[in-house]
Structure 1
Amino acid sequence: MNKITKRLSPIALFLTCAFSQSALADVKVNIDLSKAEHHYAKVKMALPASTQASIDLKLPTWRTGRYEILNLANGIREFNVKDSNLIWQKIDKDTWRITGDLSDGVDVSYQVYANQLGYRTRHVDDSHAFLDASGVVMYTDESRDDKHVIQLKVPKKWRSVSGLKKGRNKHQFIAADYDLLIDSPIETGINDFYKFDVDGRDYELVIWGKGNYDADQMVEDLEKIVSQGDTIWSDFPFERYVFMVHATSGARGATEHINSTIIQRDRYTFAERKDYLSFLGTAAHEFVHTWNVKQYRPEGLVPYDYQGENYSNLLWLSEGSTSYLQNQLLMRGDIMTSKEWLDHLARRINSYLRKPGRDSQSVAEASFDKWISEGGDYHKNHSVNIYSEGFLVSWMLDVDILEKTGLAQSYRNVHDILYKEFSIPKTFNDQDVRNILKRVTGEDYQAWWAENIDGHAKPSFDKLLAKAGLEISYGKTDKTKAWSGIATKADTNGLKLTSVEKGSPAWRAGLTTDDIIVAVDGLRMKDKDLTKRLSNFKPKQKVTFTFFRRDQLVTKTVKLGELPAGKLKVQPMADASEAQKAFYQAWTGLAFPEK
């Protein structure tokens, strides 16, 4: 058995399994999209025979890649069982129990309302359908391991694309089991389609929606990204990979799948360099997930429990390390320049310095609580993020490993070991990761882990950057500017506070979210941004803020603080040593950016 077969037995199974219409264990699913303008899909399922007195047909309550309960069964209507001798009853929000003689199999049908584009679960309209099985196809515990045959009925001229193997016709797909089906979404409709190959592997790009993208350039850069996979991992766990892109309005985000990804962006965010680089960063992020999450996952996430939360204190490694490693692909593929990388680091550092939640929650706690994380003002003041703070501790580990091994090993080697030794169905825990770190460096990471993963990480950015010949700068000036700690947005009555930084001057004065500022120092607020108004004041100056709270007029005095007047930048040291330059190159894959 070859390496790919060992690591991804479901894919190996469906790639080698001949399609048989008469197979007794097949679950047959027909999805009718012929009348899509009202966002409806009609699903018919034929389930295999069962010797049990009853079966429970379930729709997942969340989807992979999004650690949040979504209650997907809210779009199911008109459930029916074909055999009138069988009795069915809905026993909870996403379970239908069918009772009776099941020896001849069970045929069910139901309607799906599919208008959740931004959730990346299901969306059907007159131009396309995006179908993640978690929001469309039900399963039973008994049929979860069975082969699934998906047949679509679609309007003429629609093209259907998926990471799944094609069946007997261009709108039929085959999955070895339900777990593969749920991790292989289908995009069908009017779309643009491109194929390319890199190092003997096949890649596809399908784009739904019009926008200011250059598809040929997109293909060229995706080729560069995928060619860098072996700079981190020892091999590739797929023979074919599909990039799905939605150029649309309103929906934004992306989700990884076993040999495909779905990326959603505003249709006009592809042309500008910073926007396009953001898109490529997302593509690289999801491609990294092909290994990190889809091949190796921490305890608590294998096998997936589709009906409830799947807890882990290592989601920072699953997501934050992916955010960190995506840049390795971009830099080593000559897509992201040193200047862009240093700008990216500067934004990360500045965001962390302006996040009081770093003293309230650890990345391990944030990982466990991801299922109930809501973001917003409270999150910033009392929480950290598995993506952003997971990025930072991954950076800390990378620098530490490079230093301890004389640039011979890096954090990339840690992830390759996880891939080679802990691929699904195996899992890993905190101790396994610490053991790998000790193997790579020869040193124990128990204390480091307690301080930075289970505790509140306090990275020394000056030291981290100095190892690579870099430093933080606020420009040529040493001036400071007045600071209140308030973020606002325009409101019909004034400026509405969207957040107040914990411990800031405004926080200490008693201002809070949703207060509506109407005057500063007795003068009406006409600016749409508080920053411009505060530029008239100096640090440590006392300023009165007049605002509405619960429709009552309130006045508070704020003693302004100070911040550096310049923008935080990461730049090369003028006198960087050859050792520091070598460290930078080993770290990024790029030549040191001479000042």
Structure 2
Amino acid sequence: MKLQYKLSIPEPHTHMANITINAKRESSDNYLDFFIPSWSPGSYLMREYGRNIRIFMAHNKLGERLTTKQIDKGIFRIDFSASDLKHPEELEFSVKYEIFCHELTVRTSHIDQSHAFIHGPSTFMGVLGKEMNSPELEIEINPLWSKITTGLTDISEKRDVFLYSAADYDEFIDCPIEIGCHETDGFMSHGKPHELAFYGQFLSNGISETKVKEDIKKVVDHILATMGGAPYDRYVFMTHLAPGLFGGLEHLNSTALQYCSYEFSQEKGYKGWLELVAHEFFHLWNVKRIRPLELGPFDYTTEALTRMHWLTEGLTSFMDQYFIFRTDYYSLEDYLDCLKANINRYQQTPGRKYHSAEDSSFNSWIKLYRPDENSNNSSVSYYLKGGLIFLVLHMKLLEQGKGVLDLVDALWKRYLANPKVGVVEDEVFEMIREIGGEKLRDDFIYLVKGVDEIDFESLFNKFDLVFEYDEAKADLGINVEFKGDRVVVKSVRADSSAHKSGLNAGDEILSVNGLRFLKADYDNRDKIFIENKRYTLLISRLGHVMPQEILVEKGLRSIKSIKVKEGANNKEIETKLKGSMPV
């Protein structure tokens, strides 16, 4: 079934998009069910995009109104047999609906006077039970704007008509669209064009647009050389810059990136943005092509459960920092600082004792993407643990003169051999056996399925890298948020002083031993609380003011630094950790 879409945004300040779909039904179609996805591939939460639809109606080509009825969340039925028509034989018809778009994330759409960012799954409806081949989209551009950037194929024949196409519905909604007056640029790599689009602004602080382009190109050049070329004809980077933004979402031939303007302007934050670029770009291979069996073809109306996000996001989370290290944006010291931060975060997550990487993957729809006060106590991020188990795998392979890229190569060859069918975990485990032997395979399986502690320190010692620890200090064991100067508990770490005393998320700490306790005091808490001493807190809980006794105990130990062992050769360690480089 061929669908021809038209997108118009006549009044951007209302945040509404008007969508028209022209189609032709089969004579045997008594009804058709139009749906809007409930979720987006790569972002595992039921977002229920149907909540943003305001009007849905349908007419045949002759203008006769067709009977429509909403039959489920985001699903609307056009009932041709129930419609009162003078010309029931007419097969061509159109659908019109309005949808609200005012949420600036990489997995939602956003429209205002400055631009329109159109995320396909949150905007474009499809038809249940039909193959939707070669959809086309006409964009009626608002006079406020002058540019359109998208991974869709431009099939426009006239300069005043903006017409695009895709192979099928999956590809169509997998190509986000940026419309506005954004900055654009581009470069060639491995004979393929790469387009850049930037919405928003950043403080220059020595970072120029030319440098940004050169740095993206360097990362892309390296990854393409590592992976043996580009699996696309053209690639698009879309970046939104605004204070407080962060996020990225992979697409088949493009990515949407969002980053904080202030962080982008600082050296450390800028390198973090390059990590994000590498992360989403590597997803071209890992997830968009190499994928678990359960992740495609998609049912956009229900969850796609998999136990293998340790592969989709864990491997990618290891590779992003690894690529930035291999391209020399991270020195050895920088890279070890990244690994230190990852290990500390993992070891300070109580949920690691209860959820394996496999458990975390399977529960992504109700855990990782729906965090609450107890999340860190009951689960662990598959991004975090997944990245760390691939770090362990990489270092153990390095001992054999190999590395994680040997596994990536095996995964890519498996995809090329059978691109229509995703992998299952036993295939990945067998690849590891073939590369590193049975013991390494068994060790890796245990890392994926187990919850025992990981001995990072002994592994690093084998590479002449030593851990230096901070002395554990008196610690309440809480995360807080500030409401003005007021201190409110956001979460309580399991087995901490606060947890043992009965302090709750949502409690406001009014005073400590009779002295008012405000934001500045919390920031200075290391000088206020002493280990093994009792304190009386006055808290407000659910509108009731009450005292709360707490015995402040020693907090968690953390790694202060990972350093090269005295007498060892920094350059040799750096070269070994990087592994073989592309020619």
TM-score (norm 2): 0.90
2:153 partner amino acid: K
Aligned to 2:378: 382
1:167 corresponds to 2:163: no
Match of 2:124 among 121, 125, 137: 137
| Alignment of structure 1 residues 233-252 onto 2, 5 Å | 233-252=227-246
Look up the equivalent residue of 1:263 and give its one-letter code. Answer: L
Deviation digits for residues 317-364 of structure 1, max 9, x if unmatched?
101211110112212222222222111111111111211111111111
Matched-pair contact (CA < 8 Å) for 1:467–1:583: no
The aligned counterpart of 2:474 is: 482
1:77 matched to which residue of 2?
Answer: 54
Q: Matched residues in 2 for 1:500 and 1:513: separation?
A: 6
In the alignment, is residue 525 of structure 1 matched against residue 517 of structure 2? yes
Q: Does structure 1 residue 435 correspond to structure 2 residue 430?
A: yes
CA distance in 1, matches of 2:75, 2:359: 31
| Aligned residue number for residue 511 of structure 1 | 503
Question: 2:324 is paired with a residue of what secondary structure?
Answer: helix
* Counterpart residue identity of residue 213, structure 2: V
Q: Is the Cα contact below 8 Å between 2:3 and 2:132 reproduced in 1?
A: no
2:199 equivalent among 197, 208, 215 = 208
The 8 Å contact of residues 232 and 415 in structure 1, kept in 2 or not, is answered as no
* Pair 493,269 (structure 1): closer, same or farther in 2 beyond 3 Å: closer
Question: Is the partner of 1:528 in helix, strand or coil?
Answer: helix
Q: 1:396 aligns with which of 392, 397, 402?
A: 392
2:325 corresponds to 1:331: yes
- The equivalent residue for 1:285 is 279
Q: Which runs of 5+ in 2 are unaligned?
A: 81-87
Distance 1:447 1:589, change over 3 A: closer
Contact residue 151 and residue 254 of structure 2 kept, 8 A: yes
Q: 1:585 aligns with which of 563, 575, 580?
A: 575
Note if 1:123 corresponds to 2:117. Answer: no
1:20 match:
none
Alignment partner of 1:194 out of 185, 195, 205? 185
- Within 5 Å, give how 1:34-183 maps onto structure 2: 34-50=10-26, 51-83=28-60, 84=64, 86-100=66-80, 104-118=91-105, 120-141=107-128, 143-156=130-143, 157-168=145-156, 169=158, 171-183=162-174
The answer to whether the aligner puts 1:543 opposite 2:519 as a matched pair is no
Q: Comparing 286-295 with 486-495, which one deviates more in the overlay? A: 486-495
Q: In 2 relative to 1, CA 500–590 (structure 1 residues): closer, same or farther, beyond 3 Å?
A: farther
Task: Identify if the C-alpha distance between structure 1 residues 138 and 456 changes in structure 2 by more than 3 Å, giving closer, same or farther.
Answer: same
| Pairing partner for 1:366 from 360, 365, 385 | 360
Q: Cα gap change, 1:220/1:282 in structure 2, threshold over 3 Å: closer, same or farther?
A: same
Give the aligned residue type for 2:535: V
Instruction: Give CA-to-partner distance per residue, 1:359-417, whole Å, 9 cap, x none.
Output: 111111110111112223301111100111111111111112222xx22x212221222
Q: Offset of 1:66 from its aligned partner?
A: 0.8
Task: Please say if residues 49 and 103 of structure 1, whose CA atoms lie closer than 8 Å, have aligned partners that are also in contact.
Answer: no
Gap change, CA 1:376 and 1:570, over 3 Å in 2: farther
- CA drift of 1:463 comes to 1.5
2:491 is aligned with 1:499: yes
**Number of residue pairs matched by the alignment:** 559
What is the CA-CA distance between 1:276 and the residue it aligns to? 0.8
Is 2:317–2:387's contact at 8 Å kept on the other side of the alignment? Answer: yes
8 Å contact from structure 1 (residues 331, 589) kept in 2:
no
CA distance in 2 between counterparts of 1:129 and 1:212 reads 23
| CA distance in structure 1 between the partners assigned to 2:238 and 2:374 by the alignment | 34
Q: Which amino acid aligns with 2:91?
A: D
Equivalent residue of 1:77, what SS? strand
Q: Is the 8 A contact 1:434 1:444 kept in 2?
A: no
Contact 1:166 1:173 in 2 (8 A): yes
What are the superposed Cα offsets for residues 10-37 of structure 1, whole Å, 9 maximum, x if unpaired? xxxxxxxxxxxxxxx5421111123222
Change (3 A) 1:446 1:277: closer
Which runs of 5 or more residues in structure 1 are unaligned?
Answer: 1-24
SS of equivalent residue, structure 1 residue 544? strand
Once the two structures are superposed, the pairs formed by residues 221-232 of structure 1 within 5 Å of their partners are 221-230=215-224, 232=226
Mean CA deviation greater in 135-144 or 349-358: 135-144
Select which of 422, 431, 453 maps to 2:415: 422
> Alignment partner for residue 470 of structure 1, among 462, 465, 468?
465
Note the C-alpha offset of 1:536: 3.8
CA 1:538/1:444 → structure 2, altered by over 3 Å: closer, same or farther?
same
The alignment status of 1:30 with 2:17, answered yes or no, reads: no
Q: Give SS of 1:269's match.
A: helix
**Structure 1 ranges of 4+ moved more than 3 A:** 141-145, 444-447, 491-494, 563-567, 580-584
Alpha-carbon distance in structure 1 between the residues aligned to 2:566 and 2:178: 51
* Matched residue SS, 1:116: coil
Q: RMSD of aligned C-alpha atoms?
A: 2.3
CA 1:250–1:486 in structure 2 vs 1: closer, same or farther (change >3 Å)?
A: closer
Deviation at 1:142, TM superposition (A): 5.1
Q: Which moved more, 1:140-149 or 1:182-191?
A: 140-149
Contact 1:33 1:153 in 2 (8 A): yes
2:84 maps to: none
* Equivalent residue number for residue 8 of structure 1: none
User: Which residue does the alignment assign to 1:9?
Assistant: none
- Conserved? CA contact 2:106–2:256, under 8 Å: no
Secondary structure of 2:202's counterpart equals coil
**Match of 2:531, as an amino acid?**
P
Residues 251-266 of structure 1 mapped to structure 2, 5 A cutoff: 251-266=245-260
The one-letter code sitting in structure 2 at the alignment partner of 1:162 is T
Q: Distance in 1 between matches of 2:456 and 2:437?
A: 24
The 1:590–1:518 alpha-carbon spacing in structure 2 relative to 1, beyond 3 Å, is: farther
Q: Which letter does structure 2 place at the counterpart of 1:292?
A: N
**Secondary structure of the equivalent of 1:474?**
strand
Task: Report the CA distance shift for 1:359/1:466 in structure 2 as closer, same or farther (over 3 A).
Answer: same
SS for the counterpart of 2:365 is: helix
For residue 481 of structure 1, report the CA deviation from its aligned partner.
2.5
**TM-score with structure 1 setting the length:** 0.89
